[in-house]
Structure 1
C-alpha cells in the first residue's frame, strides 16, 4: 500500500491534475495537494482523484501505469 495524493493545481498544457505517490521525486514540489488514501495500485487512486477533479491522470514517473499523457 502507498499513500496517494492529487495535485490541486492543473498541469498548464494538458489541464490534468496529476496523481502522485508520497515517495515521488516530484512530490515535494507540489504546493497544494489533496490526500486520496492508501492504495495498492495507481488505478484506484486515479479513480478517486477523478471524483474530485474530472481531468486527472497518473504522474509519468511514479504512476506510469496510469499515465495517459
Structure 2
C-alpha cells in the first residue's frame, strides 16, 4: 500500500508519497493509503472534478488521454 497526495492549487495532480516530483507538502492534501494508483485516482475524482495522475509515480497502465474517465 502506498500513500497518495493531491496538489490542491492549480491543476490537481495525484502523487505517491515517494515521488521525486511531489511538491512541498504545503499545498498538498493527503488522499490516503491505496493498493494502486487507479484506486487513488478514483477516490481523488470524487473530491475534485479534474485530477491528473503524475506520469512518473502513478502508472495506471493507460495513456493519460485515455484515463480522463475512470469508472
Class of the TM-score when normalised by the shorter of the 2 chains:
0.7 to 0.9
Please give the TM-score of this superposition, normalised by the length of structure 1. 0.78
Say which structure is richer in helix: 1
Contiguous gaps of at least 5 residues in structure 1: 12-16
Count of paired positions: 64
CA gap of 1:21–1:61, structure 2 versus 1, over 3 A, is same
Match of residue 32, structure 1, among 14, 27, 32 = 27
CA gap of 1:62–1:53, structure 2 versus 1, over 3 A, is same
Once the two structures are TM-superposed, the CA of residue 10 in structure 1 deviates from its matched residue by 2.5
Please give the TM-score of this superposition, normalised by the length of structure 2. 0.76
CA gap of 1:5–1:43, structure 2 versus 1, over 3 A, is same
SS in 2 for 1:26: coil
Contiguous gaps of at least 5 residues in structure 2: 66-71
Once the two structures are TM-superposed, the CA of residue 21 in structure 1 deviates from its matched residue by 0.2
State the Cα RMSD in Å: 1.9
